[in-house]
Amino acid sequence: MKRVIAIYPGSFDPPTNGHLDLIQRGAKIFSELVVGILRNSEKAPLFTVDERLDMLRQCTSQWPNVRIESFEGLLVDFARDRGAQAVLRGIRAVSDYEYELQMAWMNRKLDPTLETVFMMPAGAYSYLSSRLVREIAALGGSLATLVPASVEEQLRLRLGVAPLAPK
Ligand code: PNS
């Protein structure tokens, strides 16, 4: 069978269970999945790239064909460097579609040989985003089922929020 390498790019600030769901799905259909954390983001991130690399490595060690890396510059150049034929992106809802389609078209313009593949996470994660996770964490809400326990712990430490008292 043909070996297909895919890149799953993103900010992952922080990684959520939705990201992990997509990584698991991608790891099933691609020979190798390279998760690429964007380094040159203009946004001021909550976690450094090295922290996000560590978090994702910890949460994905059970999948031998998944590799976590960071990249700078154009995604198409990173994909070419890694010998990837596909880019994996998640679509949670129709609202994601316009932005994702624009990126996919632009990436196709930059490199017509690179295919973008869209996958849906489990329905339970269709409303989940890193931005909402950061907001809930900052306001002391429960993140159980939204992020791995290790990520929740890092969020609480970073934001100086005490763990929730058991009910
Ligand atoms: O998780 P995000 O923030 O939605 O991911 C966006 C990402 C990293 C996929 C996108 O910003 C990207 O690919 N940036 C790399 C620079 C690039 O190639 N820009 C042109 C894309 S059309």
Q: Classify residue 80 as exposed, middle or buried by CB count within 10 Å of its CB (0-12, 13-18, 19+).
A: middle
Q: How many angstroms does the Cα of residue 103 sit away from the middle of ligand 1?
A: 8
Split at pLDDT 50, 70, 90, the class of 43 is confident
Give the global pTM. 0.95
Tell me the best of 35, 37, 38 to mutate to test the pocket of ligand 1, counting ligand atoms within 8 Å of each CB and taking the most.
38
Name the token pair of 67.
Answer: 């590799």
Catalytic-residue membership of 28: no
Q: So what's the pLDDT on residue 1?
A: 76
* Cβ of residue 10 lying under 6 Å from some atom of ligand 1: yes
From CA 95, how far away is CA 85, in angstroms rounded?
A: 26
The residue type at 161: V
For the stretch 127-139, pLDDT in tens is 999 999 999 999 9
Mean pLDDT of all residues in the chain? 95
Q: Which of 64, 56, 78, 54 is nearest to 130 (CA)?
A: 56
